Structure 1
Amino acid sequence: MSEFTPTDLRGFIAVAESGHLTDTAATLAVPQPTLTRRIRRIERALGADLFDRAGRRMTLNTRGRAFLPHARAMVTELADGTAKVARLMDPERGTVRLDFMHSLGTWLVPDLLRDYRTLHPGVDFRLHQGASLDLVDRVRADAADVALVGPRPAGVGQDLGWHQLRLQRLALAVPEDHPLAEAGPQPVDLRAAAGENFIGMLPGYGTRLLLDRLAGDTGFTPRLVFESMELTTVAGLVSAGLGVALLPLDDPYLAPHGIVLRPLDPPAHRELGLVWRAGSDPAPPVDQFRAFVMGVG
């Protein structure tokens, strides 16, 4: 089968709309024989004449009228695809698929996006929230370009890149009228809360991963009475006296009203950072945003 090009299709569409070969060639600024060859390539590829020719007039026949909407669709789809690739390669107009944990949606993510969009207003962001483990899986599966997560995931240095942005010291949060609150904001061993009810994040969320690991290291399994996807909910339920919790000390949007935060002893931290696929194809919009975040952090 003969092959035709997008230029051939555009020539066919122009002649179909004008009905005149010579005038169309002049409009397209090509010699008439060149335009004739373009239309002939399409007709050979389809195995059928598409025009009824009468002197200088060219009128679409039944076959031409059947093909015309598909020709227009092919040209449109090609233009759309070309534009999308161009956007992916344009750091000022491309798209960044950014995932982040729920707890970062109140401060870190808005701050980063506000500052970045001031410098690069044409960049499009596609945002997704979720549990830390799920977000890392999405990065690995190429469902996201980068993700703001914590703690540092497994696989860094292998199939994942990582840049640390914050290191938050962890504390045991207790209601202000709880016996463990009597010492005030003094450091405390997590084992002191081994027999307490815990308010925690859902499995797979960053702070829950840390609670399970730290409790396991000290020899107990937390007794969870409620699991949430929001740290603000966890803090609120602690203040209501429903249990204790593991919370970061310096989260600017976790107002410790009605609770006492006691830093863990030995010290433990919540590491927050940016994760991406190691060795991923160059994507200027993503690369530029990642460089910005790493520069800020």
Structure 2
Amino acid sequence: MGVETEALRWFQLVADGLTVTEVAETYAVSQPGVSRALARLEEDVGTPLLRRSGRVLRLTQAGATFKRHVDAFVNNLDDGLAAVEQLLDPGSGLVTLGFPLSLGTWFVPGLIRDFGRIRPQVRFALQRTAVGEPGAPSRLLLTREVELELTTARISHPDIEWRRVAVEPLLLCVPLDHPVADADAVELAAVAAEPFIMRRRPSGMREQVVDLCNAAGFSPVVAYEVDDLPTVRGFVGAGLGVAVVPALGRDVPVVLGPVRFLPLLDPGAQRDIGLACLTERRLLPAADSFRRFVVGGGANLTSASSV
């Protein structure tokens, strides 16, 4: 069997939704060349892997089965190539890192900056993880698209090692004219009668806020559900409710535009920041160095409390 590695990569891209034309443009080759390579791949495998549906190609049942093995093979091949590259130049390398949007505004940039002071030649390929079920690993980590994932909740999964690296306070966000806006700190019970702005499900942040309110003796009345923290802040600033939000590295209490952030005195008003990796996957040198940096106290350089 004379399967071409390039054909496998093109098959991956087409299977993931790119058109043959887009693949050809990405690799600066002709469209007929890509089509011929995919046809040779099907001939080598011995069955159709793709079927046409309008302008795009869809996986056949055999193609879906084959792709899982292609993904594993190409990922292992790329790991091998990267390992050799890092062996030849130990100070360099690439770290593939996933993280949620809320950590991308403060925590991740600080870690990469400070890690770069000791390993300036290491590069990062960054991917934002999608919001999923609380406590579940991202698809990016499970499919090996990233080696490491920073999370804002503890992950429980048999194939994943998760280490807490920092603790981030949760704050009460209120409009500037709110009765508690001038307080140094506040308990959630002080806003029990207020409407709340909440993240839309699924959201670990939402679940934690509900749990904190219940522990304070009330069930929050959800006035609006939104998709991200900037929108939460905007709705609070417009006087449409109050919200519990992560500190995002802010010194508190602090005023930001039309809102004020106040420390919460309620027990458990914090969230874990952790680092996750697959237990079955041996990290490449650059990724392992970054993991040891973060777990060993690199998070001290952020505004969150390290553990």
Q: Could you say which TM-score interval applies, normalised by the shorter chain?
A: 0.5 to 0.7
1:186 aligned counterpart, secondary structure: coil
- Measured after TM superposition, the shift of residue 291 of structure 1 is 0.7
Output the CA distance in 2 between the equivalents of 1:280 and 1:222.
Answer: 44
Alignment partner, residue 61 of structure 2: none
Q: Aligned in 2, Cα 1:201/1:182: closer, same or farther, shift over 3 Å? A: closer
Instruction: Could you list the structure 1 runs, at least 4 aligned residues long, displaced by more than 6 angstroms after superposition.
Output: none
Q: Aligned in 2, Cα 1:115/1:265: closer, same or farther, shift over 3 Å? A: closer
- Measured after TM superposition, the shift of residue 160 of structure 1 is 2.2
Q: Aligned in 2, Cα 1:162/1:182: closer, same or farther, shift over 3 Å? A: same
Alignment partner, residue 175 of structure 1: 175
Q: Aligned in 2, Cα 1:256/1:182: closer, same or farther, shift over 3 Å? A: closer
Alignment partner, residue 72 of structure 1: none
Alignment partner, residue 123 of structure 1: 122
Alignment partner, residue 147 of structure 2: 145
Q: Aligned in 2, Cα 1:222/1:84: closer, same or farther, shift over 3 Å? A: same
| Mapped contact 2:210–2:219 kept (Cα < 8 A) | no
Rg (Cα) greater in structure: 1
1:191-202 map, 5 Å: 191-202=189-200
Q: Aligned in 2, Cα 1:224/1:253: closer, same or farther, shift over 3 Å? A: farther
TM-score of the aligned structures, taking structure 2 as reference length: 0.59
Output the CA distance in 2 between the equivalents of 1:88 and 1:133.
Answer: 33
Output the CA distance in 1 between the equivalents of 2:148 and 2:191.
Answer: 36
1:123-272 map, 5 Å: 123-131=122-130, 133=132, 136-138=137-139, 139-155=141-157, 158-179=158-179, 181=180, 184-188=183-187, 190-215=188-213, 217=215, 218=217, 220-229=219-228, 231-249=229-247, 251-252=249-250, 256-257=255-256, 258-272=259-273
Partner amino acid, structure 1, of 2:278 = R
- 1:224-244: CA deviation from partner (whole Å, max 9, x where unpaired): 414132x34423432221211
Alignment partner, residue 101 of structure 1: 100
2:255 aligned counterpart, secondary structure: coil
Output the CA distance in 2 between the equivalents of 1:183 and 1:201.
Answer: 25
- 1:67-96: CA deviation from partner (whole Å, max 9, x where unpaired): xxxxxxxxxxxxx97744523666533322
Structure 1 portions without partners, runs of 5+: 4-79
Partner amino acid, structure 2, of 1:263 = L
Q: Aligned in 2, Cα 1:260/1:121: closer, same or farther, shift over 3 Å? A: closer
Question: Alignment RMSD, CA only?
Answer: 3.4
Alignment partner, residue 43 of structure 1: none
Alignment partner, residue 11 of structure 2: none
Q: Aligned in 2, Cα 1:112/1:186: closer, same or farther, shift over 3 Å? A: closer
Partner amino acid, structure 1, of 2:94 = T
Q: Aligned in 2, Cα 1:121/1:169: closer, same or farther, shift over 3 Å? A: closer
Structure 2 portions without partners, runs of 5+: 3-76, 300-307
TM-score of the aligned structures, taking structure 1 as reference length: 0.60
Output the CA distance in 2 between the equivalents of 1:123 and 1:186.
Answer: 42
1:92 aligned counterpart, secondary structure: coil
| Mapped contact 2:149–2:277 kept (Cα < 8 A) | yes
Output the CA distance in 2 between the equivalents of 1:165 and 1:85.
Answer: 26
| Mapped contact 1:107–1:252 kept (Cα < 8 A) | no
Greater helix percent: which structure?
Answer: 1
Output the CA distance in 2 between the equivalents of 1:172 and 1:202.
Answer: 18
